[in-house]
């Protein structure tokens, strides 16, 4: 296998996307803070975006679609980050913690 020509194969990107997705999922399960989960969510989105871009580059008849989708995902990610962070701050104001478990306990 030509290790320096990896960038020309679709599979590389698919595996990478899957890896990022997996990291994101793992982080979501493992992390117990809002910010940690937010970071993991960004990883998941990144994995998905790579797939979009890869398919658009190698397979799609119209290669603009994937790019547009990725751009939309970025916009969504930015919006999501903004909203999530304001929620985090609001939660922190009320509960003095950004730990999801703490918040759940206090609610119950």
Partner 1 sequence: MTPILSPQGLAGLIFLGCVAATIAGALLATNATRLIRAVTGLALCMVGVAGIYYFLGSPFVALMQILIYAGAVCVTIIFAIMLAEPHEMKRVGKVHALAGPASILAATVLVWGLAALGTKTVWQPVACRAKNGTLEEVGQSMLTTYSMSFELISVVLLIAIIGSLALARAGRSK
Minimum Å gap between C-beta 108 and partner 1 is 16
Half-sphere exposure (CA, 13 Å, Cβ side) for 13?
18
The two three-digit tokens of residue 29, written as one number: 């399960």
* Residue 77 sits in the site that holds partner 1 (CB under 8 A): yes
* Residue 105 sits in the site that holds partner 1 (CB under 8 A): no
Q: Say how far residue 11 (Cα) sits from the centre of its chain.
A: 20
Asked if residues 32 and 15 have their Cβ atoms less than 8 Å apart, the reply is no
**Residue 100: which H helix or E strand, with range?**
helix 100-107
* Residue 74 sits in the site that holds partner 1 (CB under 8 A): yes
Minimum Å gap between C-beta 52 and partner 1 is 10
DSSP state, residue 2:
-
Minimum Å gap between C-beta 55 and partner 1 is 8
* Residue 103 sits in the site that holds partner 1 (CB under 8 A): no
Residues 12-71 that bind partner 1 (CB under 8 A): 12-27, 29-33, 35-36, 38-40, 42-43, 46, 49-51, 53-54, 56-68, 70-71
């Amino acid at each position: 296998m030509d290790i320096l020509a990896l960038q020309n194969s679709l599979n590389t990107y698919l595996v990478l996307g899957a890896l990022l997705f997996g990291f994101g999922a793992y982080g979501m399960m493992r992390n117990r803070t809002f910010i940690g989960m937010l970071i993991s969510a960004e990883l998941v989105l990144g994995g998905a975006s790579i797939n979009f871009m890869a398919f658009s580059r190698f397979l799609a008849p119209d290669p603009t679609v994937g790019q547009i989708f990725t751009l939309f995902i970025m916009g969504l990610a930015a919006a999501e980050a903004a909203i999530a962070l304001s929620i985090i701050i609001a939660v922190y104001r009320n509960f003095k913690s950004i730990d999801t478990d703490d918040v759940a306990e206090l609610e119950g």
